Chains A and B, each alone.
Chain A
Amino acid sequence: MDQVGNLLARPRQYHNIDGVGELGGSAMCLGFALLLWLPAHSPAGSVWHRVPVFVFAGLALLIHYGTKAVKTRITYPRTGFVEYRRRWHTSAIAAALGAVAAAGLAAGFRRQLDISMLATVGGLVFAVAYGYHFARAVHWKWAVAGAMAAVSLAIGFLPADVLGALGSDSPAAHPDRARLGGAVLISLLVYGTMLLVSGGISLGHYLRHTQAPAQEER
């Protein structure tokens, strides 16, 4: 029965066989880091304060169509096409986690807690989610998940003034928000880089071990 269970899990593992899932995640993390950094470090009235919505939309389109293009041109012709079943409970869990995170952030602001720790908690959740989605299929990726968790913990111990300076160079900025912004910025940069390296290795491995497009016949 275990072997049947393994076969049932195969399509889920196939989703990232080419590392494109991680490369998309990397683009998202690095793009969000850019979106955080640009307004925080550009003068008031700069164009960067007005364009984040457009940059965000462009980033979302780039990830969506970029991923689709790689799958269509590289993955499907080499190892086949899969259309996954839509699972409403996955979306519901993601929405619930998002709501809990937003509520935690709001409560942290209201009670003036050290909200830079939220970046650490969020990072640990991210590392667990990464392990669940990617490392179960490819075991060396547990090292990446472990490194993510370690970096998240290390960010929690960074001095507040360093985080504040990274989060904003404006003296008018709220110190708590600047610290949180700095912690999130470092987290996104580190996770984005890790996902880029890990996804790049997977893509290279996939290209080396699969044959170029072959005509399908039956």
Chain B
Amino acid sequence: MNETQEKNLRRFASQMRRWIIEGVYRAQSGHPGGSLSATDIIAYLYQEELSVDPKAPRNPNRDRFVLSKGHCAPALYAALGLRDFFDIQEMKNLRQFGSFLQGHPCMSTVPGVDMSTGSLGQGISAAVGMALAAKLDGKDYRVYCVMGDGELQEGEVWEAFMCAAHYHLDNLCVIIDHNGLQIDGVTTDVMNLGSVNDKMTAFGWHSIPTDGHDFASLEKGFAEAKQQKGMPSVLVAKTVKGKGVSFMENQASWHGSAPKEEQYNVAVVELDALISKSEEL
């Protein structure tokens, strides 16, 4: 990864974080914690990995992206807006009555959203369906799916993982946003997942441990995933919930609550500094 790429990614991710906070603050509702932990992953996907065109969001040959942890819609919308799928200023209307930016991703209203999600566990199954469709049609687009670690507690997820391995879906790449927290607390306390890496390997996936905030690590992980033939790949990405806003970091309580005015002001100062810093790099 060269310096320009790195700089662009940092700037894009910082702007995403700023818009996530803006949208959630104005709506006074939403899910900042997981949106911020998934930001660098989604930034990398939309800047470096996905072959998508904002002018032709339904191009049948495009790569697909499914946000299976649909509550992190603010991160996805911010990436789409910054990539000009729609006017980024629409983030100011996130979750508000009449806005096309629904609380959870809605493919019927948002250009660039490939699957409506929000009910955990269903997005990964839909991603499996998209990867199967590519195989049936002999097309070479790839399917990417971001999931939460808490989401892995849903049984449907393991049905989908089994299915992807059974059909040798090497065109499918899952990224697990492994921030270790969920609404009720620490994931290992709420319902211990054990080793995600071991479970994925046992389910017939090529598992790649990754740092979900290190673009070089993500680059390496995605490149390795593309090399895998005959089996799906998963990037088990270690992340920090709330990443980029100091008081939100590693706090389960920021899973689904909006900042108050003073907190918003603190977050804005921090994020604006991040944006300036990324300009300087």
A binds B: no
What is the interface of chain B, defined by CB distance below 8 A to chain A? none
What is the interface of chain A, defined by CB distance below 8 A to chain B? none
